[in-house]
Structure 1
Amino acid sequence: MEDHGGYGQFCPVSMAGEILCTRWTMLIVRELLYGSRRFNDLRRGVPRMSPALLSKRLKELEKVGILVIAARDNGGVEYRLSRAGEELKPVVMSMGLWGHRWVESRLTLKNLDPSLLMWDIRRKLNPDPLPPGRCTIQFLYPELPEAQRNWWLVIDAGTVDLCNSDPGYELNLLVRSSLHTMTAIWMGITSIPSEIAAGRLVLEGERPVAKAMQQWMGYSPFVNEQRAVA
């Protein structure tokens, strides 16, 4: 890892910190715990991290035994956590739960990122409440620049694809809101019914898909659903 001189302490917290507390490292571990295996999938989870730095961090994590880099049959590589890496799951979850409880304000949501929000929703999406066959759901954030305004989730045979260009399929549901509103719903800070009532969330399309939105979308992994706004 990067050499900052070290903490100079023979202490497990100090030694772990020298490995895990470098910039982006815990977010990469988070992405691997979420199931990302390919370089491009990891990049989507850390969109502001340069490809060169991501590659460097992955090699460093391999060197210290947190992940394994394996060759794929098609000539590419995939990244998997080692046993030591898997044991970081409760650490990452505890950090996320602590941050959700103590750091983020209910009054101001900061660091909004549509690509990361949609990638999180795509990963957590539960196809079971949706109708059989292909289902296409568009998210529209009118206040954003054109390149970030429209996102499509295409659910087919249990797989979920995320597109930021029109896939050309008939829509089952159009979800229209600000990015702030959708992020607040995802984080359990507000609810779908309350945002609809306030006019900040508009659902257009098939009623069963709209009615089941919270069931198929779910919440951020760091939200205690029993404490989320009902």
Structure 2
Amino acid sequence: MKLEKVTNNDRKADKRWYDDACGTALAMELVGERWSLLIVRELMFGPRRFGELRGGLPGISANVLTQRLEGMEEVGILVRRKLPPPANVQVYELTPWGYQSETAIQELGRWAVRSRRHDPTLPLSAAAIMMSFRTMIDRSRSGERPMQVGFDIAPDAFVAAIDAHGIAVRRAQPDSVDLRLAAQPPVLAAIVYGGLPVAAAERDGALAVTGDRGLLAHFVTLFPLPPKTG
């Protein structure tokens, strides 16, 4: 009876309750609204300011972003805090539980890219391309040539450590790395997933490469897309 009472109270506070005990139904309540999962994706590499989140999700309005952030803060997926001086700005950050959603997001991404509707030429954010690398890395081959790869994706910067465990990515200035790539996300996606030759991207001024080009030749082969369905 106690469980029934708590459940009924929760339902009064949540107008979108599915009346379904399945965890998948609850997951949809938590992050199933439009933009919610993409906000989580943008926060996977650390805290972001409101404007930075809008920059990564150019199609979202300020009002909708505010609503989604408030909702996910309420259920414990993220927290809002103020950075200490001299930054002194408000940021949003995933909770430890929020970060644990990455596995689910990756599996959903692996499943979805098998659709013939998947179009790797569409726009994507810096966090999106980094998440795609973490999702699609071929761990059976990632240990063949361990490397540190830096990415200059203005205004963001990342460092990726690739080894037998896969790929670990963090926001950081790529100062001491084996290979450094300066390009926007669609260019990186075109090279890795679309077969755009590195030389062509460089010739067009869309890519700048510093470091071991042999590692680059290996790097672009580490993220195979699965076959399409049907």
Whether 1:209 and 2:222 are equivalent positions in the alignment is no
Whether 1:159 and 2:163 are equivalent positions in the alignment is no
Please give the TM-score of this superposition, normalised by the length of structure 2.
0.56
Q: Tell me, yes or no, if the aligned pair for 1:192 and 1:214 is still in contact at 8 Å.
A: no
Relative distance call for 1:87 and 1:203 in structure 2 (3 A) is same
User: How far 1:129 sits from its partner (Å)?
Assistant: 6.5
Relative distance call for 1:44 and 1:205 in structure 2 (3 A) is closer
Q: Tell me, yes or no, if the aligned pair for 2:78 and 2:98 is still in contact at 8 Å.
A: yes
Matches of 1:20 and 1:40, distance apart in 2: 21
2:190: which partner in 1?
184
Unmatched 5+ residue regions in structure 1? Answer: 140-150, 161-172
Aligned length: 179
Please give the TM-score of this superposition, normalised by the length of structure 1.
0.56
Whether 1:71 and 2:82 are equivalent positions in the alignment is yes
User: How far 1:102 sits from its partner (Å)?
Assistant: 2.9
Q: Tell me, yes or no, if the aligned pair for 1:67 and 1:82 is still in contact at 8 Å.
A: yes
**Structure 2 counterparts to residues 103-122 of structure 1, below 5 A:** 103-105=116-118, 109=120, 112-113=122-123, 116-117=124-125
What is the aligned-residue identity percentage?
24
2:51: which partner in 1?
40
**Structure 2 counterparts to residues 193-208 of structure 1, below 5 A:** 196=199, 202=203
Relative distance call for 1:42 and 1:67 in structure 2 (3 A) is same
Relative distance call for 1:226 and 1:53 in structure 2 (3 A) is closer
User: How far 1:32 sits from its partner (Å)?
Assistant: 0.9
CA-to-aligned-CA distance 1:177-205 (integer Å, 9 cap, x gap) = xx97764324x231525xx5xx6873569
User: How far 1:152 sits from its partner (Å)?
Assistant: 8.7
Relative distance call for 1:94 and 1:206 in structure 2 (3 A) is closer
Matches of 1:27 and 1:205, distance apart in 2: 26
Matches of 1:206 and 1:83, distance apart in 2: 35
User: How far 1:57 sits from its partner (Å)?
Assistant: 0.9
TM-align CA RMSD: 4.6
2:9: which partner in 1?
none
Whether 1:59 and 2:56 are equivalent positions in the alignment is no
